[in-house]
Amino acid sequence: MEKEIKKDTNQKPFLASETKKNYKHAPLYRSISNENYSKISYKNILKKFEVMGIQKDDPRLRYFFENMKDKKLDEKVSDESFNDILENQSKLFQKVLKGNLAVPDFTSFSNEIKDIYKKTRTNNQGKVADYIPQLKRVDPGMYGISVCTIDGQRYSIGDTNEYFCVQSTCKPINYCIALDDLGEDFVHKHVGHEPSGKGFNELTLNDRGLPHNPMINSGAIMTSSMLKPNLNIADRFDYVLNMWKKLSGSHRIGFNNSVYLSEKQTADRNFALSYFMRENNAFPENTNLLEVLEFYFQCCSIEITTDAMSIVAGTLANGGVCPTTGIKVFHPETVKNCLSLMYSCGMYDFSGEFAFRIGLPAKSGVSGAVLLVIPNVMGIAIWSPKLDSLGNSVKGLHFCEELIKKYSLHNYDTLIISQQSKKRPSISPLSKRK
Ligand code: GLN
């Protein structure tokens, strides 16, 4: 007969044979079930996940859902199943069950985001981009905000499942891909890292005859020229699309063909920039200029939702590792370089002002998208098509301002005592809790 090693009134007898079965996670199971054994039902675990912001479509929960397929929601999770589930995603389950995620009080944080959303929703200033009809036709009232922490806690409010074009938010991504593929030295032989002080599509190069940085059009055309130049154009595009997919935790990424076609038709400035760069021998050898331009327009016409884009931003916040899949998409050095340039050059002619007021790396696009990164904490995607005179989403900027008023997230807030009393959503901004 099996020897009973522990028994109390609240707890199921714990058998020596169970330990022998290597139930590695038995201590956690017992610590949670200590007060009330029946607490560990599938329903209660699901509730915990929901409260913590782990969404049902999170790839890390796949095994859990498989495990509970023929179980009732109220059913108690056995030691064996519990162990099984934890073996599969032990880091996530331990963090959730112990309440130890990047934003521990995710409910309060989500409520604050909801309040900011409601407040900023009524700001109707600005004008939808009209340089191509396809962008002009977008519903100007659209507004969505999505958040994804470095632990994959997600919250979305508003029009967060509508697809919009990434436009210039493809610039940091293409830059990261180029850096990861070819290294910093090669990439920066062809593009600088200094704000241009001029408009994003200004016909200008730096004193080395190179585009000033990868966050403006000339620089983005340059980084696009470096992405898998030896592949055929279809495979090059698939390569980039697949990168967006990996960055977004396998969300569906779309493509807007009519935006692409009209970008191509109204691209005199981008053609001029490219010929100007070619005249200055700025491109890598054997660059096919026309092919690169088409490729760049295609990259701008990729479509995404804020829900998926927040995971992209979360991946950048997490140093290149996707929070929901754990896949390492970019090297941390790559992300560091990219965030540095987003910080100094990401918001058009408002970049210096944005760094001053908000103190966070971000990139915006003419579709009204804003990709905001809070390093080591979370990524946020905001989409609202009405733009200010500098091309940034009005509601997007308003949201960032309100966020910074509520939370101590500006890069240099930590220096100021009065700012330290502002809330921080995370446990510890600087220590990466892996
Ligand atoms: N497709 C646009 C262009 O190249 C991207 C501009 C943008 O989002 N700023 O002109």
SS (HEC) of 246-260: HHCCCCCCEECHHHH
Residue 433: what pLDDT? 41
- Going from the Cα of 143 to the center of ligand 1, the distance in angstroms, rounded, reads 20
**Nearest-atom index, ligand 1, CA of 217:** 4
Which whole-number Å values give the CA distances from 169 to 87, 174, 220, 239, 364, in the listed order? 37, 9, 10, 17, 6
φ, ψ at 244 (rounded to 5°): -60, -40
**Nearest-atom index, ligand 1, CA of 220:** 4
Residue 38: what pLDDT? 53
- Strand 378-383 relative to strand 144-149, pairing: antiparallel
Task: Give me the helix-helix angle, 257-265 and 289-300, nearest 10°.
Answer: 130
Going by alpha carbons, the residue nearest to atom 4 of ligand 1 is 217
DSSP string, 119-144: HHHT---SEE--SSHHHHTS-TT--E
Query: What CATH code would you report for 107-433?
Result: 3.40.710.10
Which whole-number Å values give the CA distances from 79 to 74, 110, 268, in the listed order? 15, 33, 66
| Whether the CB of 366 sits within 6 Å of ligand 1 | yes
- Going from the Cα of 10 to the center of ligand 1, the distance in angstroms, rounded, reads 64
- Going from the Cα of 195 to the center of ligand 1, the distance in angstroms, rounded, reads 17
| Whether the CB of 365 sits within 6 Å of ligand 1 | yes
Q: Which of 217, 224, 349 to mutate to test the pocket of ligand 1 (most atoms within 8 A of CB)?
A: 217
Q: Which of 132, 264, 366 to mutate to test the pocket of ligand 1 (most atoms within 8 A of CB)?
A: 366
Residues of the chain with CATH 3.40.710.10: 107-433
**DSSP assignment letter at 61:** G
| Whether the CB of 168 sits within 6 Å of ligand 1 | yes
| Whether the CB of 310 sits within 6 Å of ligand 1 | no
**Nearest-atom index, ligand 1, CA of 366:** 8
φ, ψ at 280 (rounded to 5°): -90, 10
33 with 11: CB under 8 angstroms? yes
- Going from the Cα of 365 to the center of ligand 1, the distance in angstroms, rounded, reads 7
- Going from the Cα of 25 to the center of ligand 1, the distance in angstroms, rounded, reads 51
Going by alpha carbons, the residue nearest to atom 3 of ligand 1 is 217
- Going from the Cα of 226 to the center of ligand 1, the distance in angstroms, rounded, reads 19
Residue 434: what pLDDT? 41
Residue 260: what pLDDT? 98
**Nearest-atom index, ligand 1, CA of 267:** 10
- Going from the Cα of 217 to the center of ligand 1, the distance in angstroms, rounded, reads 7
What is the number of alpha carbons within 13 Å of residue 59 lying toward its C-beta?
12
Residue 68: what pLDDT? 85
- Going from the Cα of 169 to the center of ligand 1, the distance in angstroms, rounded, reads 9
Distance separating alpha carbons of residues 363 and 371, to the nearest angstrom = 5
Q: Which of 263, 364, 371 to mutate to test the pocket of ligand 1 (most atoms within 8 A of CB)?
A: 263
Q: Which of 131, 168, 170, 387 to mutate to test the pocket of ligand 1 (most atoms within 8 A of CB)?
A: 168
- Going from the Cα of 116 to the center of ligand 1, the distance in angstroms, rounded, reads 28
Q: What is the pTM of this model?
A: 0.92
The SS3 call for residue 321 is: strand
In the predicted model, residues of the chain with pLDDT beneath 70 are 1-22, 33-39, 419-421, 427-434
| Whether the CB of 271 sits within 6 Å of ligand 1 | no
Residue 22: what pLDDT? 64
Name 289's Cβ contacts closer than 8 Å, sequence gap at least 6: 274, 275, 278, 283
| Whether the CB of 217 sits within 6 Å of ligand 1 | yes
| Whether the CB of 300 sits within 6 Å of ligand 1 | yes
Residue 9: what pLDDT? 39
